[in-house]
Structure 1
Amino acid sequence: MLKRDTRVQVVILKEDKYILLKHYSVKEDKYFWALPGGGKEKGESEEEGAIREVFEETGLKIKLLPWKFEIEAMDKRFYNRMVTFIGYPIEGQVKVGYDPEEDMCQYYRLVDIKWQHLYDDEYLSDSTLKCIQQVRRVLKNNLHIIE
């Protein structure tokens, strides 16, 4: 299994909703929801990695806003830290994408995608909830960014 230092992920906003991806964990035989994202590749910035991962997993081209948050990863099997951006779609249709890294396919698969209301905490892991709470704080002071 490929372990990377940094997971980049994006809270993709559209009006009062954001995208969640449903994953199937092969080893644990269970499903979980997470933000679009993945490992930053060698030579790319965190921003470039986040934009690439979103396109691969959702089919969307996005624009990143000037906020990002960093937290220590709760599950250290894949990443040491997580960097979360806020963005919005500029082109494309939402669809379940893929993970092009073959070695990751033996661990999990993307199986569904949905728009989740910004204040609905159902399906959220502790680490995703932490990120969404930070986004809510930003939006409270910058309401114009999702209008």
Structure 2
Amino acid sequence: MTQVADVDKPREEVLKLYGNRLRLRVCGLYREDDRLLMVRHRGIGPTNTFWCPPGGGAQFGETAPDALIREFMEETGLEVEIGPLLFVNEFMQPPLHAMELFFTVRATGGSLRQGIDPEMSLDGQIIEDVRLMSFEEVKQYPPEEVHALFRYCQSLDDVFQLRGYLG
């Protein structure tokens, strides 16, 4: 398999599953000391690298907290308890468009590992890495490779102070 095919397959699956429609996503901010849990996805953004807090799409009939509990287990192996809703972000990188609800989360069990996205085929998986990162590590990446929420922040504490609609 060529390098181009490795990049194209996840991008094709992302666009097929999520492109050209509005999607409701739930995202969790999990902090351990001075580090935030982040997931690296491939097939998203101009460089095919995109770091963001864990989360994913809510399914029809599923509450936002239940969706986030499920997504955390799928992506990170952690069992979590959902805290307060902090802010809403509108993610818009056409053809992707999502309304994202950001909650705080607290780990209650499980063990941290790189998970999978069950909506994707085995050869189209987009999760490349799951790890705790300092704010400085996150900011070392180009802005287009990390979630837009970090543009509003100068520290990890600032992330947890965000409120309202980020747009």
TM-score (norm 2): 0.68
Query: Aligned partners of 1:54 and 1:60: how far apart in 2?
Result: 6
Output the aligned Cα RMSD: 3.1
Q: Is the 8 A contact 1:71 1:83 kept in 2?
A: yes
Matched, 1:8 2:29: no
Alpha-carbon shift at residue 102 of structure 1 (Å) = 2.7
Which residue in the other structure is 1:129 paired with? 150
Structure ID, larger Rg:
2
Which residue in the other structure is 2:66 paired with? 48
Matched, 1:97 2:115: yes
Q: How has the CA–CA distance of structure 1 residues 82 and 114 changed in structure 2, closer, same or farther, with 3 Å as cutoff?
A: same
Alpha-carbon shift at residue 12 of structure 1 (Å) = 1.0
Alpha-carbon shift at residue 59 of structure 1 (Å) = 0.3
Q: Is the 8 A contact 1:54 1:61 kept in 2?
A: yes
Which of 81, 86, 105 is equivalent to 1:87? Answer: 105
5+ unaligned residues in a row in structure 1: which ranges?
Answer: 141-147
Q: How has the CA–CA distance of structure 1 residues 87 and 133 changed in structure 2, closer, same or farther, with 3 Å as cutoff?
A: farther
Q: Deviations over 1:45-90 (max 9, x none)?
A: 1111111111100000011222331021132433331111111211
5+ unaligned residues in a row in structure 2: which ranges?
Answer: 1-15, 162-167
* Number of residue pairs matched by the alignment: 139
Which of 65, 73, 86 is equivalent to 1:68? Answer: 86
Task: Please state whether the residue corresponding to 1:55 is helix, strand or coil.
Answer: helix
Query: Aligned partners of 2:152 and 2:59: how far apart in 1?
Result: 22
Q: Is the 8 A contact 1:6 1:39 kept in 2?
A: yes
Q: How has the CA–CA distance of structure 1 residues 139 and 99 changed in structure 2, closer, same or farther, with 3 Å as cutoff?
A: closer
Q: How has the CA–CA distance of structure 1 residues 54 and 24 changed in structure 2, closer, same or farther, with 3 Å as cutoff?
A: same
Q: How has the CA–CA distance of structure 1 residues 135 and 58 changed in structure 2, closer, same or farther, with 3 Å as cutoff?
A: same
Q: Which has the higher contact order (CA 8 A, sep 6+)?
A: 1
Which residue in the other structure is 2:126 paired with? 109
Larger helix fraction of residues = 2
Q: How has the CA–CA distance of structure 1 residues 29 and 137 changed in structure 2, closer, same or farther, with 3 Å as cutoff?
A: closer
